[in-house]
Structure 1
Amino acid sequence: MAELDTLDIIVLAAILLGTLAYFTKGSLWGKTKDPYATSFAATNTAKAGKTRNIVQKMEESGKNCIIFYGSQTGTAEDYASRLAKEGKSRFGLETMVADLEDYDFDNLDAIPSDKIVMFVLATYGEGEPTDNAVEFYEFITGEDVSFSQGNDPPLDNLHYVAFGLGNNTYEHYNSMVRNVNKALEKLGAHRIGEAGEGDDGAGTMEEDFLAWKDPMWAALAAKMGLEEREAVYEPIFSVVEREDLTKDSPEVYLGEPNKMHLEGAAKGPFNAHNPYIAPIAESHELFSAKDRNCLHMEIDVSGSNLTYQTGDHVAVWPTNPGEEVDRFLNVFGLGSKRDTVVTVKPLEPTAKVPFPTPTTYDAIVRYHMEICAPVSRQFVATLAPFAPDNETKAEMTKLGGDKDYFHEKVNAHHLNIARLLESVSKGKTWNVPFSALIEGVTKLQPRYYSISSSSLVQPKKISITAVVETQILPGREDPFRGVATNYLLALKEKQNGDPNPTPFGLSYEITGPRNKYDGIHVPVHVRHSNFKLPSDPSKPVIMVGPGTGVAPFRGFVQERAKLAENGENVGKTILFFGCRRRNEDFLYEKEWEEYKKILGDKFELVVAFSREGPKKVYVQHLLKERAKEINELLEQKAFFYVCGDAANMAREVNAVLGQIISEQRGVPETKAEEIVKNMRAANQYQEDVWS
């Protein structure tokens, strides 16, 4: 073969370089730096790839107290942040908050004994760890857990504190903190104070946390020789107003969740950090009564890589109503500065800014802060020093310190922070550092809804069924209204012809930041669930779902009807549905008739109309009336599903099922309860419930 001349070599080299450049684009070059990542994710060195070694991280950053959190919806993360702030302000601890998934744990035994480790752990679903705590949980509770130092016992060096977030309506109440605590003690670690347990099911989570933390701090101070000092506010973030930028500057975030959205080039994977701005294919009201109404919405995900399975959840990213945004900005004297651009940066290396910057006060409050939620007693106490006068300061101090008084004046009326401050100070303006608001007001969280469609029938269209939340509260002039469902109602009104929808007088920026949502799009992602039909369609299923608890069962029945049309052998399918009146809130009445035509005697709908008879009838009553058939189906290994209210309905259905098994099989109730527990353990009994 002839030798290559110089031109050939140059051409081949150019081709080689071009090929290399193409295949390394985005990994070795051409990767635009995301200012959002710079503002908070990159300051967390674990995420930036510097270290997953927690001991090294604590040494590098000069920390002597680390608070790990396992959080699904943000509450545990919020409590961890509050502990970190209080530890620093009251005791001078050098604290840091850490996401459990950011670190390895085989060197927990190397953490010096004069350092403090705290665990704030939520229990998710049926006793499972939260997504970010799975690896830690499997490691610490594993049979073959091993550590770096070879000590005996391995964690004799570790001093720790633990608080759990749970829901007593679930069987495995607070199992995460209980099991982790047990595992740590088994490995020789030393717990300081009691392991606290918060109960969302009883609605006492906040007070449980406050009741736990004060004796915990006392025990910690005694054990570790800490000296309490007068708590002085020290900002975690710097907030700098930018005169060189306006809200129309292209690099300014106006509510976009990340840089890709800011630049209009958002792409997958779409998830809890990166929502898909999904078109709403259609929307209508299933019913509208004097005190409530119910929406059906079809979300089109065909333009994304989002997939779902029947029984999964869809997360809607809401925006706060304009009236509450105005109220919040005005009470803090920011109404005239709403469009002022600010850059927010952490003042210490482990803090994370919870939204992208530079941005505006309006965008932060509208898209990133949970300003409509009832205010916490601890935050009220934190704001007392900033009161505009002594009378207001005294009242805020009393509210922050007196549990019963706070419940009477604040909790009972579901007052958010701005409404409370307006009321207490009689409309005076509060001069609070904006950093304190970023730290004290929790992040606006996505709301999760059980998907009410079958992925087999409509894989690229997700159905939502949601009652628009409204609560009439004594002593409050206007009702408390849910953030996400009223936002969805505004979107429905816009889609159906109202150019400026204001449901119940609430207005929303439904066209989104820079009008990118155009009023008929909604930010969403999908959360996968274990709430699933049996893989064998011939298995019988019994479903109990009153009200919007019927949502996933619409998907289940839709799927079974499709399977039957495809020639599959479908087992007996019974749905116990509850509503008030046939002519008021009988959800999907016509659809059930269509499914009945397809499934024949394989499908039965049993409806409890609670307000039609001389006495109230609920799903659990009708379940008991069918005791013989229910037991026979269970003996055929039927799957049993419950969806809806956890505190009352789900608990009563669980009890009724035990009674049915006891009576029909002639066994003691204790034995029947054991059978129900075994059904749960085998996934034969599944719940998708909420408080």
Structure 2
Amino acid sequence: MQLQVLNSPFNQEQAELLNSLLPTLTESQKVWLCGYLAASQSASVQVTTEAPPEVNPAASTGQTVSKEVTILYGSQSGNAKGLADHAGKTLEGQGFQVTVSSMSDFKQNNLKKVQNLLIVVSTHGEGDPPDNALSFHEFLHGRRAPKLDGLRFSVLALGDSSYEFFCETGKEFDKRLEELGGERIVPRVDCDLDFDEPAAEWLDSVLTALSESQAAGSVAAPASAPTAAAGETVYSRTNPFHAEVLENLNLNGRGSNKETRHLEISLEGSGLTYQPGDALGIYPQNDPKLVDELIQALNWNPDEKVTINKQGEVSSLRDAFTSHFEITVLTKPLIEKTAQLTGIDALQELMAAENGEKLKNYIEGRDLLDLVKDFGPFSVSPQEFVDLLRKMPARLYSIASSISANPDEVHLTIGAVRYNSNGRDRSGVCSVLCAERLEPGDTLPVYIQHNQNFKLPENTDAPVIMVGPGTGIAPFRSFLQEREEAGASGKSWLFFGDQHFVTDFLYQTEFQKWLKDGVLTKMDVAFSRDSNEKVYVQHRMLEHSKELYEWLQEGAVLYICGDEKNMAHDVHNTLIEILEKEGNMSREKAEAYVADMQQQKRYQRDVY
């Protein structure tokens, strides 16, 4: 609706200014502005106004709200936990009493006591909750979920728009909390892989809405990032450390169908540290050949200058496509925005609701070059086109070393991804950068991604069972290095699998030495292509089901790392089958046993 002198309390000049400003604001900016104006009003004259859409009326009526805030996170890789921790520290700095907890650690019966609830949750796989959100998600959507009429809440959802069920878990929590009677502090915010700015806007909006009834006229300070002591540089996801590559070796033997790189990277001078189970984030560069083909297809000048971020930083178009933007993945939002910008009929037809399956099939296995070749040329400026693109996301790799055993170093195990799709050879952005274009002495922008969901037991006497085929072996090399350094006395059992014993037994000599020295108690291997019938790690687990069950009864912690869609699913079902067989349990009791293991952090997964 356009503001006019006749339908508003504004004069003509004010109405024109507001009409030009309001359409440019994001939803978060509108919510923040509502809170700011409400707080300003309470400082002078107590004017009763209607609450902003979807915002709890207590925020604008002057009603005092509790200063206690509960922040629950569901996190698989650690991003949601990091954002939840930051939100907690920011709110505490503004005088709130904050409890930050993973959903799996939160006592569900306490939910009715919570007045202010913030949910920070990622979506895993094909629309699934992360492991440490499963029990809370099930509780909230089950019959035992309580009425939450006194609850004020807000949800920050993390996801990847290249997946069909983008931010699905956050959407489900948001909808369910409303159904149970809760009222939103501010509307849900859905974040893509580049989540820093929308997450900060969400936190600013939440902070303003919570603060405005606490102190008349005081508006909370923006939720800024943590600062370092004078002269100290803090390296992080938003400020990566440029680390030198020390070694880059192929772990596979001659004749292998695979190429698995072992990288050794220096962290000297960074101040970065990590624990076994953590991951290293790498910001890669796109393949220069692909970048050149894309610019040629667009018929643009590679040296043309474009602005690459909100801070106004400028680079050449070629550098922008190489280092700053994602060009190897298509998403529904990208195609939608391209259709709107270009007005191309064929693109708009592809976006039509009735063509949903056609759009899904088109996106699968294609990239930006395909989009330009299939629907271009585009009659838009390079800047307009660049503004549509997602920023280059970091790639996360499980760390394959212990910093105790390798001071100032971090090791990675990276499988090179190469495949053919829709008539073109394609490759993984980071994995093939490491395989083909990265030499010792080169540098990579890196940061540490802490993962509290995949950690060795504090009790070094506890038995550990590790299942990690292929590059899933990486964190278990880290585990065993750490246990060797610490002199851990607990039993350890490793299940490893790959294609061929001769060419694909990653880190073979290291594991054989640990077996000999007693650092590793047992090791079972499965090489699927060395026999007529394919044998995988879950088959080896079944062969030793009785002993594996005994280890579990002794309190063993079970870890799985690797492919989620196939391997992790099969291993999970095998675990339940073993419990049914050896524990004489029903399917229901076996599943409850596994759920209890997860709750006790005795069943941990690092899957992708």
Query: Common fold, TM-score beyond 0.5?
Result: yes
Deviations 1:408-458 (A, max 9, x none): 4x224x221232221234xxx322244543442111011110000112211
Please name the residue that 1:204 is paired with: 164
**Which one of 384, 401, 415 corresponds to residue 366 of structure 2?**
415
State whether residues 99 and 132 of structure 1, in contact with CA within 8 Å, keep that contact through their aligned partners in structure 2: no
Range that drifts further, 165-174 or 200-209: 200-209
Question: Judging changes above 3 Å, is the alpha-carbon distance between structure 1 residues 608 and 100 closer, same or farther for their aligned structure 2 residues?
Answer: farther
Aligned to 2:316: 360
Q: 1:180 to 1:644 in 2, by over 3 A?
A: same
What code does the residue aligned with 2:370 have?
R
Task: Give the whole-Å Cα distance in 1 for the aligned partners of 2:121 and 2:444.
Answer: 35
For 2:123, the equivalent position in structure 1 comes to 165
Q: Are 2:339 and 1:384 aligned?
A: yes
The correspondence for 1:278, drawn from 230, 243, 250, is 243
Contact 1:452-1:463 at 8 Å conserved across structures: yes
Choose which of 174, 183, 187 in structure 1 pairs with 2:150: 187
Where 2:457 maps in the other structure, the secondary structure is: coil
Which of 473, 478, 491 in structure 1 is aligned with 2:424? 478
Q: Which sections of structure 2, spanning at least 5 residues, go unmatched?
A: 1-16, 43-47, 57-71, 89-97, 102-109, 176-230
Q: Residues of 1 paired with 2:287 and 2:132: CA distance?
A: 37
**One-letter code aligned to 1:384:** A
* Paired AA for residue 406 in structure 1: L
Are the counterparts in 2 of residues 296 and 466 from structure 1 also a CA contact under 8 Å?
yes
Once the 2 structures are TM-superposed, how far is the Cα of residue 489 of structure 1 from its aligned partner? 1.6
Deviation readout 1:273-331 (Å, 9 max, x if unpaired): 11111111111101165653110010111222111112211111101111222233334
Partner in structure 2 of residue 489 of structure 1: 435
Cα offset for 1:482?
0.7
Distance across 1 between alignment mates of 2:292 and 2:133: 40
- Structure with higher Rg: it is 1
Q: Which amino acid aligns with 1:419?
A: D
Question: Is 1:625 matched with 2:543?
Answer: yes
Q: Secondary structure at the match of 2:496?
A: strand
- Asked if residue 303 in structure 1 is aligned to residue 269 in structure 2, the reply is yes
Asked whether 1:614 is paired with 2:580, we answer no
Q: 1:675 aligns with which of 593, 598, 604?
A: 593
SS at match of 2:525: strand
Amino acid at match of 2:501: R
1: CA distance, partners of 2:161 / 2:592: 23
Q: Compared with structure 1, are the counterparts of its residues 430 and 471 closer, same or farther at alpha carbon in structure 2 (3 Å cutoff)?
A: same
1:646 to 549, 561, 564: 564
1:482-524 deviation digits (Å, cap 9, x = unpaired): 10111112344x34xxxxxxxxxxxxxxxxxxxxxxx621111
Contact 2:498 2:527 in 1 (8 A): yes
2:489 is the counterpart of 1:570: yes
**1:302 maps to amino acid:** E
Structural mapping, 1:252-651, within 5 Å: 268-287=233-252, 291-334=257-300, 336=301, 338-343=302-307, 353=309, 357-373=313-329, 375-384=330-339, 387=342, 393-401=344-352, 402-408=355-361, 410-412=362-364, 414-425=365-376, 429-473=377-421, 476-492=422-438, 494-495=439-440, 520-530=442-452, 531-563=454-486, 568=487, 570-599=489-518, 602-651=520-569
Q: 1:378–1:400: 8 Å Cα contact kept in structure 2?
A: no
Aligned pair in 2 of structure 1 residues 93, 177: CA closer, same or farther (>3 Å)? farther
**1:63 and 1:96 in contact (8 A); partners too:** no
Q: Provide the C-alpha distance between the structure 2 equivalents of 1:325 and 1:176, rounded to a whole number of angstroms.
A: 44
Kindly provide the amino acid, as one letter, of the partner of residue 379 in structure 1. Answer: L
Go from structure 1 to structure 2 and tell me whether the alpha carbon gap of 1:104 and 1:163 turns closer, same or farther (over 3 Å shift).
farther
Instruction: Please report the RMSD computed on the Cα atoms of aligned residues, expressed in angstroms.
Output: 4.5
Q: SS state of the match for residue 205, structure 1? A: coil
How far apart, CA to CA, are the structure 1 residues paired with 2:577 and 2:510? 32
Q: Percent identity?
A: 26
Q: CA deviation at 1:184?
A: 10
Picking from 19, 26, 31, the partner of 1:95 is 26
TM-score relative to the length of structure 2: 0.69
Q: Which runs of 5+ in 1 are unaligned?
A: 1-61, 65-87, 148-154, 216-265, 345-352, 496-518
Q: Flag the 1:559–1:324 CA change in 2: closer, same or farther, 3 A.
A: same
> Which secondary structure state, in structure 2, belongs to the residue aligned with residue 479 of structure 1?
strand
Cα deviation code 1:100-141 (max 9, x no counterpart) = 99x999x999995343469xx994218994422444795799
- Structure 2 residue identity aligned to 1:376: T
